[in-house]
Chains A and B, each alone.
Chain A
Amino acid sequence: MDDPFENLRLELRRGSLILAVLGALQREQYGYTLRKTLEDCGLPVDEGTLYPLLRRLEAQGLLESQWREEDKRKKRFYRLTQAGRDIFVRLVAEWQGIGAAILHFNQPPRGGSHGSR
């Protein structure tokens, strides 16, 4: 429970999850299949996190949803709005910038010592 790695990992994933959900909803899906899609891509997320997140993103106008019948059951389908698409593109650029910066810091130091001059 108090494993620092686990806590930090969860914190890191929480921020990335929004990006993953926006990316996955470029194709219309309902909640359960979205959860499966994320899980198959290595991002398992519990329903208690996913559904409230979907509602928040919908309230922000980034997603839109529609109740439809499929396989004789009513399901709520989500997809990205135009505003969501724009935000997604900008967030991906931001995320790539962060990734590049972190990779840069992760490079082993190249000879010499810092602050020697």
Chain B
Amino acid sequence: MDLVERYIAAVKFWLPSASKDDIAAELAEDIRSEIEEAEHEKGRKLSEDEVADLLKARGAPMVVASRYLPQRSLIGPEIMPVYLLVLKIVAAICLLPLVFAWLSAPFFRPDTVPSHLLMAPASSLLTAFAVVTIIFAIIERKGIIPAKSQSWNPKALPSLRPSGRIKRADSVGDITGSLVLLWLFFAGFLSRSEYWGYGTHIVLSPEWVPYWQAMLALALAETALSAINLFQPVWTVPKIVLRMIIDLAKTAAFYWLLQSHPLRTLDIPTSIPAVDAAKLVQYVDTLVAYAGPLMGFVAILVVLTALWRLFQTSRQHTVVNRLA
């Protein structure tokens, strides 16, 4: 019987205090009844091993106790898909700068890159995961999404525009790229025009600094647009026009930068004879000579893409109107 009492005590440990005595008493009675019946069948007392087998068949104390507890999930099945989507986005945002930082670290003077900056994305990944999980656990506990899903309106569903649909992966990619740029800018990597590292000295034109400032402003606009696209993944006329303006502005900024003789000097250590610094600078200047036609071609592509999107959007409207 000592074994049974120990078993009951172990089950009680996991039970809620309000009902533990009541449940334990009933469980003890059930076990005693089972033992009594087994003893009656065998015509003798059960051995300790037989009682142990009987208790083992009932399950581990924690498992037995868990059956009396209300079923709880930290993140329930209803909000799990949203939770996973948010986690993937957060992982992409946090890990990409880390990969980029590790890859680009050798190109900068080690003393200009604080080591904690390189590790920051890793710790921010853990923090972001914890924060997202806590937020979703609160949503689950308060039942916010299930309550909201009961009042959903079928008429508010997004229009059926399969050909004009924006891939969520594209929006996530755009946001991630913008955030990487943001991080590089505020980490100080893009606010100068001179770099050193491993005996190499690179001097760029001073126009690089305002160029990155302009790119930062455009990246912020792009992030806002991509954030909207993430939740409303269909092209509309204002979105198409805004996308085109951003892309044309980027092209124009790059063209302006290329005009500034962007790579001024490049000093490479003599220990790397395969690289002819003077020729490299010359190649860049040759490329600059073709900047006009090249950027013009890119600008035409941007405009054509916008026109194609406008055409698809108007065609889809026609189909939807016909169906209506």
Is A75 positioned at the interface, with any CB of B under 8 Å from its CB? Answer: yes
B30 contacts A48, C-beta separation under 8 Å? no
CB-contact partner of B58 in A35, A48, A52, A74, under 8 A: A48
B29 contacts A73, C-beta separation under 8 Å? yes
Is A95 positioned at the interface, with any CB of B under 8 Å from its CB? Answer: no
Q: How far is the CA of A73 from the CA of B30 in the complex (A)?
A: 11
B30 contacts A47, C-beta separation under 8 Å? yes
Is A14 positioned at the interface, with any CB of B under 8 Å from its CB? Answer: no
Total interface residues on B, using CB and 8 Å? 16
Q: How far is the CA of A46 from the CA of B29 in the complex (A)?
A: 15
Interface size class of A (residues with CB under 8 A): 10 to 19
One of B61-69, B112-120, B224-232 contacting the partner: B61-69
Q: How far is the CA of A31 from the CA of B64 in the complex (A)?
A: 16
Is B236 positioned at the interface, with any CB of A under 8 Å from its CB? Answer: no
- Over the window 66-81 of chain B, the binary record of Cβ atoms lying under 8 Å from chain A Cβ atoms (1 yes, 0 no) is 0110000000000000
A48-106 at interface with B (beta carbon < 8 Å):
48-49, 51-52, 55, 67, 73-76
Chain A residues, Cβ within 8 Å of B29: 30-32, 73-76
Is B25 positioned at the interface, with any CB of A under 8 Å from its CB? Answer: yes
Q: How far is the CA of A30 from the CA of B33 in the complex (A)?
A: 11
CB-contact partner of B68 in A51, A73, A75, under 8 A: A51
Is B188 positioned at the interface, with any CB of A under 8 Å from its CB? Answer: no
Q: A32-B33, A32-B34, A76-B26 are in contact. List 5 more A-B contacts (CB 8 A).
A: A31-B26, A31-B30, A51-B67, A74-B25, A76-B29
Can you name 8 A-B residue pairings with CB atoms under 8 Å? A30-B29, A47-B27, A48-B63, A51-B23, A73-B29, A74-B29, A76-B26, A76-B29
